[in-house]
Chains A and B, each alone.
Chain A
Amino acid sequence: EAGVAQSPRYKIIEKRQSVAFWCNPISGHATLYWYQQILGQGPKLLIQFQNNGVVDDSQLPKDRFSAERLKGVDSTLKIQPAKLEDSAVYLCASSSSGYGNSYNEQFFGPGTRLTVL
């Protein structure tokens, strides 16, 4: 079974520029998550999708971050404009939770390491 795919793996931009990350979840997984992981900390949930609807985006800085999941499959996360403090690894995860799977096993991609200069 193919895992969660993310691209790019690395991105370096200057502050005030925009950037986008792409995620392809495991086939058939209805739930998709985006996390931000700052160096030395655990991942922090930014947004959770169920199919193509948003379940929770309470921790997404909506003035600069946006995310979409068209057709309930692939997802993109965008930052516009980027700030220095956005430097982090952005992780995408998917799960089949809620669809015959009662426990919370999330499958994570390798992440995109963003450096904002």
Chain B
Amino acid sequence: DAKTTQPPSMDCAEGRAANLPCNHSTISGNEYVYWYRQIHSQGPQYIIHGLKNNETNEMASLIITEDRKSSTLILPHATLRDTAVYYCIVDLGAGSYQLTFGKGTKLSVIP
């Protein structure tokens, strides 16, 4: 079973920031938080990952709370192409290199 909880759906106005929350209250100290997204009819795509510190790349920012029990993925200026299902995943760690997907959050960017 997935170790994360996400809202099933969210809307965001085009051009505004999209903030996608994720709860992972049972995360262990050496487990990373990963975010992937899946655009309709495509395979999932890696977005970002983090352990303790906030992370930013060209796609998004990841904010992890100090107790690591939750995180937020931020798309700073959402576009219609960001409409997708977003998956928050806690890595099994120990070098297993496996991903356990939940149902994710369906983000709809509204014009």
Contacts and interface: CB of A to CB of B under 8 A. Distances in A.
The DSSP consensus for interface residues of chain A is loop
B31 to A, nearest CB: 11
Determine which residue in B32, B49, B99, B104 has the highest number of CB atoms from chain A within 10 A of its CB, and name it. B99
Interface string A16-55: 0000000000000001010000001111110010000000
Give the interface residue-count category, chain B.
20 to 34
A97 interface: yes
A91 B43 CA distance: 7
A23 B49 CA distance: 26
The DSSP consensus for interface residues of chain B is loop
A97 B42 contact: no
B95 interface: yes
A48 B97 CA distance: 9
B36 to A, nearest CB: 8
Nearest to A101: B97
Given A98-B95, A104-B91, A111 B43 contact: yes
Determine which residue in B44, B85, B91, B104 has the highest number of CB atoms from chain A within 10 A of its CB, and name it. B44
A93 interface: yes
